[in-house]
Each structure stands twice: as C-alpha cells, then as structure tokens.
Structure 1
Amino acid sequence: MCGMPQQPPVRSTPARPSRPDASMSLITNVMDHSLDDGYAEAAARKKAAGQGGLPKTLRARLGLAGGLVLAALVVTLGAAQARVAAPVVAKERQELIDRIDRETASADKLQGRVDALRDEVSARQRQALEHSGGDAKAELVGILSGASAVRGPGVKLVVDDAKEAGTGGSGNPRETSGFSDTGRVRDRDMQRVVNGLWQSGAEAVAINGQRLTALSAIRAAGDAILVDNRPLVPPYTVLAVGDGQRLSSRFQDSADGLYLRALQDDYGIRTAISVESDLRLPAAPSVILRTAQPYVGTSAQPNAQKTEKGTS
C-alpha cells in the first residue's frame, strides 16, 4: 500500500502583539524623529569641522554692545540737533522779551502823559471853581467821588500770597472757589477787603496806588488781579483814609476782617495792618458818568411825588 508522503507537521507560532500606539503612527514618527534628519546631518558636519558657532554668552555680549552703540548714536544725534536749535530758540525768546520791554515802556510813557494831563485838568477845575465862587462843598464832592487827591490819617493793610501756595482745600471760606492754588490772593478776596473797609468807615481807598471810586471794578485775568483794568502784583497794599484806630478795630471785628484772618490761618496768606497818621492817596484815573446827571431842585420834591403816587 503506497502511502501518501507525510508532511512535516506545521507548528503554529504565536502572533507578536501590536504596539498600543500603532494607530498613531504620525505622532509616533514625530516623537521618534523630533529633529529633522537633514538638520541632524548638518549639525554633525559642523561639529566635525569645528564650526559649532559662537557661544551664547558671547552672542549676548555682542548684542548688548550693539544696542549700547545704537543708543549712544541716537543720544549724540539728539544732542547735536538740540545744540543747533538752541540759538534759534534763544534768539526768538530774546526778541519777544525786547518787544515786551518796548511795549511796556511805551505804555508807561503814555500813562505818564495821561497823569500829567489829568493833573492839569484838576488844577484848571480848581481855578475855575475859585473864580466862580466855589465853596467847600465842591471840594467835598471831588474827594468823595475820587476825582481829587486826598491825605489824612487812616489804615495801611498789606495782603500777600502765602510763601508756599497750598493745593486743594474745599472748606470755608473758599468752598466754592474752584481754584486749586488756595495760597494765592484772589480778586474776590480783595473785593471783600475793600468792601469791609468801606463799611468800617473808610472815606477813601486805594490799592497799590490805584484810587477806588463808585465805578471801580476789581476783577481777575488768569492769576492777575485787575483794578479798573490795570494789573497789580503782590503784595497788595491797601490804603484807607479815615479814623485810624476806630477804622482798624471795626474792620478786624467785621465779617470781612474775620474772613481775611481765616485765609491767614488756613491757607498761609500773609496780612499786616497798621494805623497811620498821614496817608496820601492819588486821584482816580478817570471819573466818567454815562447815566447819572446832576439834579437841580430840592431833595424833597422827588420823595413828595413818590408819596403822592403811593397814596393815590
């Protein structure tokens, strides 16, 4: 019986287990070859040839030196430009100063001429009154209106800014001021001072040589105080003719005197008051009436007419 050739027994080998990350072949390849082969070969060649590049510390120092050189160049160029522009700025500033000096001198010259003409007009008015039989009443009117210069005893009050102007301050007596620099004397402060002197019995008042009248105005232009549109500079010297001792006492005890004392205590504004035996006040620059007219007649007639109208 012919038998079939026997086949060698087939032995089954166990299958190799698959990698857990077999499904993530792209990520696996990136992780296994994080450095490109070409870059790796180039780095290897440079290392073999001794061309590994500059150390990091040396490169950092070279970069810092380059930055310093660039900064020095910029500063040098800026200084050169400033030196070139400085003469031009200085020249323009000097020209402006010279122009201000010329205009100021011209204004002072005109003011001097106005004062001389005013004195001449006053002298002619006095002569005319003397020739026409003028009496003391005309002189009294001139004194009270500010049209005539006066002299006599009174009070000298000096008001000046604080040595170091403070900031802020919203309490009395400037709670509605709106100014941050409370150490400076303001126009409203001088208004209260002058009104307080009038109420205390002053017969004539002047500030820094500017005579005040019923038409005078004390205003502000920036930080400057104007009296009849003429700027004044501190310290502000107020001269008031009147019964010196009584005028001083009444003013200091008045509400305006207490206001001035509060400015001194709270904001450092400097004040000094003294009784003087002889003060001289100039005449007002101009006394021009635009509405009021002299009234001829007895003073009882207008009142009588008003009374009749009121009782009818």
Structure 2
Amino acid sequence: MVTGHLREKNGYFQMILTYKDMNGKRQTKSVSTGLPVKGNKKRAEAMLWKTRQEFNPDTAMSDKNALFADFLNKWLQAVINRVDADTYALYAYDAKTFIIPYFKDTAVTVAKIKPGDIEGYYQYERTENRALNTALLQYHEVIKEALAYAVELELIRDNPADKVNPISGEVRILFTDFLLEWLEMIKHNVEMTTYASYAMCIKSRVIPYFEEFKLTLKDVTPKHIQDYYQYELNEKGVSACTVIHRHANIRKALQYAFKVGLIAFNPADRIERPKTAKFVGSIYDANELEALFAVVKNKPIELAVILGAFYGLRRSEIVGLKWDAIDFKKRR
C-alpha cells in the first residue's frame, strides 16, 4: 500500500510517498507536482491521489539509475508549469538540440554525474561546435536547473553544476576527488589486477598525502607533485622504483584531465623522476631454502613460497595462477 502527503518546498507542492520495497523495508520518495502553492492545493491533492494509485514501488528506485539524458526529458515535462513559455521554449531547444544528444552517447546517470562530466561537455562544445560564451551560459543554466530538480527529488544531495564555470572552463573539484572519479571511470576499461594496483596506490598513498592541502585539480603544480615524491623518498623511505610507479599513476590520471580540457597542461610531465639504482639480485642457497620452508610450513603462505622458490614466479604470477596452467599428466 502506498501512502502519501503534500509538502511545501521552495514555493511548490511536493508529494511525499511512503511504501515498502521488495524486501519489506519502508521507503519514502519525493515527487514534485510542479504546482505553485498559491491557489493549487486542490489540484495538488488530486495529483497526489492519482500518483498513489499509479505508483509502482518495484520501479521507484530506478530513477537514480536513469541516464542523465533521459532525466533531462523528464525535467522538461516537469518544468513546463514552472516557467513562462519563452523560457521553456529556450530550455527545450537547448536541451533537445545540444545537451541530450551529447549525453545520449555516454553512460552517465543522474545520480553519478560529476563536475568533470559537465565540464567535458562544455569542452566538447568549445572545440567541436565552437560554441560562444553566451551559448555555454545558456546550456549551463539548463543543466544547473535540471540538476536542481534532481536535488529537489532527492536523487542527488548536491548540485554538481554549482562547481563548474562554463566560461572559464574552471572546475572547482579537489584533486583528491578527481583521482577517485578517475579510478571509477577506468574500472571497467582495464584488467582487474591493473585496477587493483592503481586503486591501492592512489587510495592508500597519494590521497592521504594530498588531502590536507585541499588543492583543486587546477591548483596542482609540478612542485606539489615533486614535493610528494621527495616526501615518499625522504620521510617514508620508499625506493625510487616505487615512486616511479606512483608517478605513472598520477601522470595517467592527469593526462585524462588534460585530454578532456579540465587542465591546461599535465603538471606531471614537468617534474624530474627519481633515478633508480641498478638492481643487484641475490638468491638463496639450499640451506637457506630449507630454513625458509621450515618457517612457512603449515602457514597460509606456504604454497606461494614453494612456487616462488621452485619456479621463480613473481607474487602477481602466483596469485594469478590458474588450474589450466598445470599439466598433471606431464607433471609440469
């Protein structure tokens, strides 16, 4: 059973629906009526009654997963009662002619759209369509108003368009937040082991260092990156090789920011990488191997140590070993 009541918000009636989901858990959903409070109470009550009858709890949670392009169409239907005819005509033209076609080709949902996604669109308009600042400001108004509606529906908490300046191209996004967004973006484009390596480096090493500085993506300079490498080398005592691996992660993320026009250049291209010392390997003799095997006997790591000792496998190769790599008949 779906129950509900009306609520006033920002001068408009909003419907608050209460229902139980498939797991029996009580949920609430807010739906804008698009009706101003003054003189529309009976119409809002009628709309609430009709919505309660037609509301399907099984699909209620799907709104957050809707593509941003599809949400724009929904917003256009809702905003028609909120603005004058000329404003609506402009919104509809800009949305249907320029904004929706661009976002139709992306997988961006209304719940996960980020400032970088919006700035990426403005950069596209600047470079591909040579859009003037006046046009960009119009597109920005449409996107900002649509996402304000998403906030009102409680599909998102904050409006990401508030962090974007369509004219300057400046994205007021923290460097650390951008790194997390970049990780999420590449998650399905690289091997899981590669993603795990990137995520471990960025989440456990890079972000904890940069968090206290509160640097925006645009504020990061070559010196900031160089200082981080010196901190790792001198304070944490990591090897030059490890710092070079972290440099590769940072540079790759910033190269994407440069590619989509979020920054003017890649600051990681302007630093000096630490020089690595020539590696001199050493191996265990028979007695040392026997001592090693005794230490790890009956431990979870025993098999991994044996495989490493007998076959010279790297850690990643041991962890990634599959049954089809072993020939039991030929014992190899």
Fold shared, TM-score > 0.5 on shorter chain: no
> Could you say which structure has the higher strand fraction?
1
Q: Tell me the TM-score range normalised by the shorter chain.
A: under 0.3
Given the two structures, how large is their TM-score scaled by the length of structure 1?
0.20
User: Greater relative contact order: 1 or 2 (C-alpha under 8 angstroms, separation 6 or more)?
Assistant: 1
> Could you say which structure has the higher helix fraction?
2
Given the two structures, how large is their TM-score scaled by the length of structure 2?
0.19
